[in-house]
Amino acid sequence: MTLQHYLVISAILFTLGIFAVLTRRNAISILMGIELILNSCNLNFAAFSRFMTPPEDISGQVIAIFGIVLAAAEAAVFLAIILAIYREFGSIRPNEVDTLKG
Amino acid sequence: MQPLSNIESLLYFSPEILLVIFAAAVVILDLIVKDTESSAVAHLSLAGCICVFATVLVTHFSFSHEGPVSLFLGMVQLDVFSSFFKVLLLLATTATILFSLRSEELDARLKGEYYALLLAITLGMFLMASSTNLLMIFISLETVSLTSYILAGFLTHNPRSSEAAFKYITYGAVASGTMLFGLSLLFGMAGSGDLGQISVRLTELLAAGEVAPLAVLIAITFILAGVGYKIASVPFHMWSPDVYEGAPIPITAFLSVASKSAGFALFIRFFYSGFGSSELMQAVDWTFMLAIVSALTMTVGNLAALPQQNVKRLLAYSSIAHGGYLLMGGVLLTPEGIGAILFYLIVYLFMNLGAFHVVVLIANEEGSEMIEGYRGLASRAPLVAWAMAIFLFSLTGIPPFAGFFGKWLLFAAVLEQGYYWLALVGLLNSVVSLYYYARIVKAMFLEDAGEETTQTSFSTGTFALLSVFVIPTILIGFLNIFYTFSNISVPVIPMQ
């Protein structure tokens, strides 16, 4: 496995994430898309840290670990907001949540 | 400049530590005080802001002779630039707490969390203004974002508030994910997370032809997505009108001023001090992209504001437009431009918070945020109407108010660099903006409320708070004659 393999996989993950966010009609699927985006970044950081920096420098892997933590925090907040949305609107489809516009 | 170790850094980090202590104290006090009507929690957080304010000043004046100090092994930096933004952000937080005390929207049972989150978001913004490492940049940005999602959706019984939070987090999460991807590319190219080292290594690699300029440009564009979403620039502005309309008014005021200021702090730190060396600018040309974004941002903001009937939404679009004006100063990353941005942020803080204070007052009085609610305000409460008129004219940029001087500096910085078309777009936009600001003034002064006019009486505290915003809005511009703000950035922000 070379650096290119990891980068290609992470680029695919990132694109899939963006695609999911843009096309999915369900808030949970959008959240999954966002998780894909964040994980592609973590993969990038870990791969770059392994191939591009000296072995004793693990700053990239540390960033990846923080990325995982932040993704979890974001998922928690997102799910809480989805719950609030469901209580108010009775639906978690973004196109039905549209009282604010103009 | 050798970075200090973790233990040595603590003393320099005391404002942030104090903020954490006060945020925790607010949560604990909320558990102790059972009376839901009590405002003890709000007053504790106010006291916290004042203590932190004093600590910021003490820290600044005791250590500024050492020059910029790099803390926590190069994670954050204490310099004049970060102290400037800390003062600015604390002013915004203090004003927001005062607004929240007066606003009738908020649920009394949840006040403890509300104020603790406000202090936490201030901590995140402090870090945004001072971080010099990719990891710290991302963590501080996420701290601010996650907290503001919760605060935007704080009115749990109000569907508009929940919807605002939902839209905010959907846009925000994608934007910050995109930014993280850009940061990872940058990290990979430079092999380091430190802004100073990235600048040095990228310059070397670009000169040696080992890194393609296009790759750097792509990474920068991705990073601009995250920064652009924080300062609500086109095309990442879509969240802002909905969020500003649905969020509680004090939070809207806070987001429009503090979040934008912190975004600009990050923007300047990243692009000017980390990326602004002339070799890098020559190799990778992104200034034209920024100029286009700036022109589009102000035009879209102003045109969309024209038909608005809801004052909160109108101010949201106006805030997008002001983001465009501010970006204008950052286009060429000259010291004059950065100085103009810093000055305009001070001016913008006072005039925009003042306008939102009036919106809070009217919302309490009328229960409405629509322009109709402002009809006949001049006869009902002349002082409030005059204050609002001053804020709106200052936002337009009409002399002699501070907004005029702020815009003048921004335009001067752009003209100096020969971007004449950008200055022209900015000028035309200011003219357009007069139309929608004047609509509110017209409703206040020229239209009748309909029913018999009763004098609305506001408390002395209200007027005192209002004058805190009115007086700087009138006077700050004249300070510029005695003290050239355009020079402050030169010692303020060191090149890495």
Nearest to A74 among B166, B173, B241 (CB): B173
Q: Which residue of A has its CA nearest to B137?
A: A63
Q: Is the Cβ pair A53, B146 closer than 8 Å?
A: no
The torsion angles phi and psi of B192, rounded to 5 degrees, stand at -155, 155
pLDDT, tens only, B98-124:
999 888 777 767 788 899 999 999 999
pLDDT of residue B450: 67
Nearest to B159 among A38, A81, A99 (CB): A99
Rounded to an integer, the average pLDDT of A61-73 is 94
Q: Is the Cβ pair B174, A38 closer than 8 Å?
A: no
Query: Tell me, what's the ipTM?
Result: 0.96
The torsion angles phi and psi of B228, rounded to 5 degrees, stand at -65, -35
Is the pLDDT assigned to residue B213 strictly greater than 60? yes
Rounded to an integer, the average pLDDT of B227-239 is 90
Mean pLDDT highest for which of B18-22, B106-110, B448-452, B472-476? B18-22
Is the pLDDT assigned to residue B337 strictly greater than 70? yes
Residue B250 lies in a domain: no
Look at B213 and B174; give whichever has higher pLDDT.
B174
Q: Which of residues 229-248 of B touch A (CB under 8 A)?
A: 241-242, 245-246
> Quick one: pLDDT band at residue B496, thresholds 50, 70, 90?
very low
Residue B458 lies in a domain: yes
Rounded to an integer, the average pLDDT of B147-155 is 93
Q: Rounded to whole angstroms, how far apart are CA atoms B31 and B25?
A: 10
Q: What is the percent of chain A where pLDDT is above 70?
A: 99
pLDDT of residue B399: 84
pLDDT of residue B490: 43
Rounded to an integer, the average pLDDT of B263-272 is 90
Q: What's the token pair of residue B160?
A: 């508009």
Is the pLDDT assigned to residue B194 strictly greater than 60? yes
Mean pLDDT of chain B: 88
The HSE-up count of residue B65 (CA atoms within 13 Å, CB side) is 3
> Quick one: pLDDT band at residue B340, thresholds 50, 70, 90?
confident
Of A12, A3, A1, A18, which Cα lies nearest the Cα of A60? A3
Q: Which residue of A has its CA nearest to B308?
A: A102
Residue of A15, A68, A88, A98 best to disrupt the B interface, most CBs of B under 10 A: A88
Rounded to an integer, the average pLDDT of B342-366 is 91
- Are the C-beta atoms of B306 and B432 separated by less than 8 Å? yes
**B120 vs chain A: nearest CA distance in angstroms?**
15
Sign of the dihedral through C-alpha A71, A72, A78, A79: positive
pLDDT, tens only, B385-407:
999 999 999 999 988 888 998 89
Rounded to an integer, the average pLDDT of B470-496 is 63
pLDDT of residue B419: 87
Is the pLDDT assigned to residue B489 strictly greater than 50? no
> Quick one: pLDDT band at residue B495, thresholds 50, 70, 90?
very low
Residue B63 lies in a domain: no
Q: Which residue of B has its CA nearest to A7?
A: B185
pLDDT of residue B482: 54
Is the pLDDT assigned to residue B452 strictly greater than 70? no
Residue B374 lies in a domain: yes
Is the pLDDT assigned to residue B131 strictly greater than 50? yes
CA-derived radius of gyration, chain B: 22
pLDDT of residue B380: 85
Residue B152 lies in a domain: no
Q: What is the percent of chain B where pLDDT is above 70?
A: 94
Residue B267 lies in a domain: no
Q: Which amino acid is at A47?
A: A
B219 contacts: CB under 8 Å, gap ≥ 6 = B182, B183, B185, B186, B189
Establish if B111 touches chain A: CB-CB under 8 angstroms: no
Q: Give B-chain residues touching A21 at CB under 8 angstroms.
A: 170, 174
Is the overall model pTM greater than 0.90, yes or no?
A: yes
Distance set, CA B370 to CA A64, B264, B363, B376 (Å): 46, 30, 9, 13
pLDDT, tens only, B409-431:
889 888 888 889 999 999 999 99
Residue B18 lies in a domain: no
- The domain total for chain B is 1
Residue B485 lies in a domain: yes
Q: Rounded to whole angstroms, how far apart are CA atoms B425 and B287?
A: 16
pLDDT of residue A76: 96
Establish if B297 touches chain A: CB-CB under 8 angstroms: no
Q: Is the Cβ pair A63, B242 closer than 8 Å?
A: no
Of B152, B176, B158, B311, which Cα lies nearest the Cα of B230? B176
Range of the domain at B294: 290-496
Q: Which residue of B has its CA nearest to A53?
A: B191
